[in-house]
Structure 1
Amino acid sequence: MAKYICDVCGWIYDEAAGYPEGNIAPGTTWADVPADFVCPICLVDKSQFSLVEE
């Protein structure tokens, strides 16, 4: 499972944890996150996220 970081504010989407507050179940891959998803902190769209290299 990967993590994606918002390039604007630094909020991290963790595929393993999902985003239950936004109705995204744990284990949901970034590709399966809805296209209309926005960062819960700064409201930018999915195009503003980058893969976290670990």
Structure 2
Amino acid sequence: MDQFVCDACGYVYDPAVGDPDHGIAPGTPFEALPDDWTCPLCGLGKDIFSKV
């Protein structure tokens, strides 16, 4: 699965890890994240992320 990086702060969303602190289970692809999911570091939306 592809990783995605926040263009604002550099946070990398890794589907293998997910975002368990925000209820996103490991194995969740970026495309399956809820529309209201935001970067855990800077709070910006999915539209700010680019494929690594």
Kindly report which structure 2 residues correspond to 1:6-45, keeping only aligned pairs within 5 A, or say none: 6-45=6-45
Aligned-residue identity in percent: 46
TM-score (norm 2): 0.94
Distance 2:29 2:39 in 1: 16
Contact 1:2 1:16 in 2 (8 A): no
1:50 CA drift (Å): 0.3
Equivalent pairs, count: 52
Q: Which runs of 5+ in 1 are unaligned?
A: none
TM-score (norm 1): 0.91
